[in-house]
Structure 1
């Protein structure tokens, strides 16, 4: 039996699309060399006969003043005039930068801008780039107000992160090259080279399911996808909706139909801001009850994920 090998590949080996990402990021950077970017315009997106994300954000009514008393976290954010969002620009269907318009599109991007509109009265956000390995640190030192980044709630993370939600449930899936017919299930990962993101929940799941798999860790989705496309990996394991986003913009890869876990996504919040957790949970309950959540799903994830709109998971 070949032992499991875990390799961490340095981020400096990014090539190709990563260079394009840097160029795209520069289009909307708040200042040269800054790791964050101001996003004033709402994320676009629509489905035939449906409501666009722009329209949903325009229709979002700001919170009553009574919900944001003086000294509350929400009141501080409103006074600042923008919501500091930990997220990404490279996750199709969730948060992807359109380099032509400078807008972020996707489920997470839309929800973050809806929350900003609810707090501030305008969907003004400032994006701070995060990876699976940096989210907790950025929340702990208050570099961000909230993390919208397909952030799976786990008992270990909940010890250091004040999660709101969950607001969506996904599952780990498998992505392979389009012409690969040898990997059709989890057991076929045995002895194969499998990539995933460092800091994600996927690596221990792969080890448990396929002990002989050779696991390589990368910092970002783009690096994992490139390793698969370039033949340096046989498969890529991560949340299925994220993998579906890759397949929607890259015709040389495909996602296997089944998942092998339950991944409840939460909005990451500073643990020492319990008032903000209650505020965000109340807002989530509101947009679920009034149908906004379902409309955002249809305009983003629903453009690629088949089937009816799922019921939102129970908050808390």
Structure 2
């Protein structure tokens, strides 16, 4: 994520949710170490397509990956609903980013064979530049500055601020319903300024940490909690007392990181992304991950190439 305060809260929340894991960003999920790469389990997205042989161009990155038999991916192992390792089966990593990576592997290789290298935020560009990984699926926000060092396919998802309510609240379904309400936000997050702009009559109450904000919501000290949707989804996964309603109302575009200058691979990955969107595979992956805790239909994927740097 471009917004440092939000990223800090996300990292802290993910760590709290996953203390029991064996094993980050948008949420720009981080991992401070790079342990031996893990291999994912079976593909969870039904109907993942396989590329026509004519698309695997001789001498291309795609051909190299297919011959190797594995797609090497930089992704987190500790990000709930995005890419989370199963503590009882370390070879199985699931979530929105993880399952998209498996679908891309299926498109290239014919099976969801993925080798994972968990990155730190500051190592992602280097991992691509030196050929350690083929792609990055790591809530990697597209920016023009980053695009000077890496190529971005996509965007494949638009994160951003969303609304959570106490489970059972049927009155609030979106940000528009916050007029006249008490809205909980994290201190020093984008919501502090965004809510007064969107809903001038809302009363904004700030809390220093995500756990404090969630506790305030469940205790009824506010009508809603506004935060980045990936953080709210993580909260809802671990705490059934809160529910995420509606889709993001601000934009934080996530891209698929690729080696800079490999236009052939970028075109190929964008073709794959459009294909899985058209076939409903993208929506199925969203429903099986983030969609399990977000009370809304699958969002419309952002248009490929629609943001500066993509």
8 Å CA contact 2:34, 2:119 repeated in 1: no
Please give the alpha-carbon distance, in whole angstroms, between the structure 1 residues aligned to 2:84 and 2:304: 26
Cα distance, 1:127 vs. partner?
0.9
Aligned counterpart, 2:175: none
Asked if 1:88 is matched to 2:83, the reply is no
Deviates more, 1:94-103 or 1:160-169: 94-103
What are structure 2's unaligned runs of at least 5 residues?
A: 24-32, 168-180, 196-205, 217-224, 306-310
Matches within 5 A, 1:137-216: 137-172=126-161, 184-185=182-183, 205=190
Normalised by the size of structure 1, how large is the TM-score? Answer: 0.67
Please give the alpha-carbon distance, in whole angstroms, between the structure 2 residues aligned to 1:227 and 1:146: 36
Please give the alpha-carbon distance, in whole angstroms, between the structure 1 residues aligned to 2:138 and 2:272: 18
How many equivalent pairs are there? Answer: 264
Aligned counterpart, 2:56: 68
Please give the alpha-carbon distance, in whole angstroms, between the structure 2 residues aligned to 1:95 and 1:240: 15
Cα distance, 1:272 vs. partner?
2.6
Report the CA distance shift for 1:19/1:291 in structure 2 as closer, same or farther (over 3 A): closer
Partner of 1:312, secondary structure, is: coil
Partner of 1:162, secondary structure, is: strand
Match of 1:300 among 289, 298, 305: 289
Partner of 1:164, secondary structure, is: strand
Q: How big is the alpha-carbon RMSD for the aligned residues of Structure 1 and Structure 2? A: 4.1
Tell me the alpha carbon deviations over residues 175-198 of structure 1, each in whole angstroms, 9 at most, x when there is no partner: 8999xxxx954xx66xx755xxxx
8 Å CA contact 2:150, 2:257 repeated in 1: yes
Cα distance, 1:93 vs. partner?
1.7
Please give the alpha-carbon distance, in whole angstroms, between the structure 2 residues aligned to 1:170 and 1:89: 19
Matches within 5 A, 1:247-262: 247-250=236-239, 261-262=250-251
Aligned counterpart, 1:113: 102
Cα distance, 1:294 vs. partner?
1.8
Normalised by the size of structure 2, how large is the TM-score? Answer: 0.68
Deviates more, 1:286-295 or 1:112-121: 286-295
Please give the alpha-carbon distance, in whole angstroms, between the structure 1 residues aligned to 2:303 and 2:77: 28
